[in-house]
Amino acid sequence: MKQICSGCQKELGFLNTPNFGGGKLLDGGRVCRNCFKVMTKHDISFSLKSKIKYSSQNVYNIINKTKIEIQNVVDRPLPNKLKVETVLPFEDSFENYEKAEENEIINLNALVIIGYIDLKKNFSKRRITIKKIIKNSNDFLINSFCHERNSIRSFKLSRITELVDLETGEIFENPIKFIQDRINETPVGSIVKFFQEYIHEINLMVYMGRVDGYLHENERIKICNFLILKSNNTLDLDILDSEIRRMNSDSSQFRESLNEVSKMENKKVEVFSILKEIAYSDNNLDSMEEGILNLVKKEFQI
């Protein structure tokens, strides 16, 4: 019978067993290479003393405590430079939509304030992250995370009465044009289209950058540089930066994108190194940033 890792309970095989008898434990248990790394981080003497210092239960507890921390990836605070007076109806009335084709969906992840009149003529004003724009017959559905309701809400573009950048307070005179410009063949539209190809990488970078709620200039420069290197076309820097600046990535998006990128062998090392640069861009690694880096490293198995 094959032995299992005392930490993660995976079967130990030729590829994941530490070399030279490493990772053996007090009671005959053993850990895999990944758990070995995690344990050495926890206690530098683990590599030499695992067999005299640690039982399987000790290791299991330590490894799974790290896992619980990983599941605790949290949503970032929102930028609060702008004081927003929100207005909410007693109850939201929902917009229904049929499942759209994949190519009719655009990921935007823009942090804005909207004024909205729903189908029962109730007015609301709320902070949302526009996650996806979905073409829906003659209109567009704005699939969003509503920060007031803490829940997903869809809004019809034609019912949006105001649109304001949550971070800068910039008012977009024409909400409908704001969305249409991002869908159509316009300078900003071509950048948004290009973003679709790298949406998971962008989600991870933005999540890392927004640890404190704000995407600082240094962080945005790193993200922009990454994208400039990826693009075959010359990108308009002002547009690129202002689109990135408005972006927000929540914890569920972060998990989803982490999972997607971890399947792409050729991307992991590069993405990890850019995340590290973003984390260190203020020359200081706080515990939140460190936790995210550790999590990414573990998920990517690098």
Q: Which residues bind Zn ion (CB under 5 A)?
A: 5, 7-8, 32, 35
Q: Closest by alpha carbon to 79, among 126, 112, 125?
A: 112
- Nearest distance from C-beta of residue 18 to Zn ion, angstroms: 10
| Least distance to Zn ion, CB of residue 255, Å | 21
Nearest to 254 by CA among 75, 78, 131, 111: 75
Closer of 32 and 191 to Zn ion (Cβ): 32
As measured in angstroms, the least distance from the Cβ of 24 to Zn ion is 13
Q: How far is the CB of 84 from Zn ion (least distance, A)?
A: 46
Least CB distance to Zn ion at residue 42 (A)? 13
User: CB-wise, 35 or 271, nearer to Zn ion?
Assistant: 35
Taking the least distance from each CB to Zn ion, the nearer of 63 and 279 is 63
Sequence-distant (6+) residues with CB within 8 A of 52 are 26
Residue 129: count of CB within 10 angstroms of its CB:
23
**Which residue lies nearer to Zn ion by CB, 3 or 86?**
3
Side chain identity, residue 41: K
Q: Are 216 and 282 in contact (CB under 8 A)?
A: yes
What is the DSSP-derived secondary structure letter of residue 87? B
46, 17, 51: which is closest to 34 by C-alpha? 17
* φ and ψ at residue 129, rounded to 5 degrees: -105, 115
Q: Where are the beta strands (DSSP E) in the chain?
A: 105-117, 123-136, 139-146, 151-156, 160-165
For Zn ion, the closer CB: 8 or 199: 8
Residue 160, C-beta contacts closer than 8 angstroms, at least 6 positions apart = 114, 115, 116, 142, 175, 176
Report, in Å, the least distance between residue 64 CB and Zn ion.
11
Comparing CB distances to Zn ion, the nearer of 22 and 115 is 22
Residue 148 is given by DSSP the state T
Give all strands of the β-sheet with 123-136 in edge-to-edge order: 151-156, 139-146, 123-136, 105-117, 160-165
Q: What is the distance of C-alpha 221 from the center of its chain? A: 18
Q: In whole angstroms, how close is the CB of 60 to Zn ion at the nearest point?
A: 10
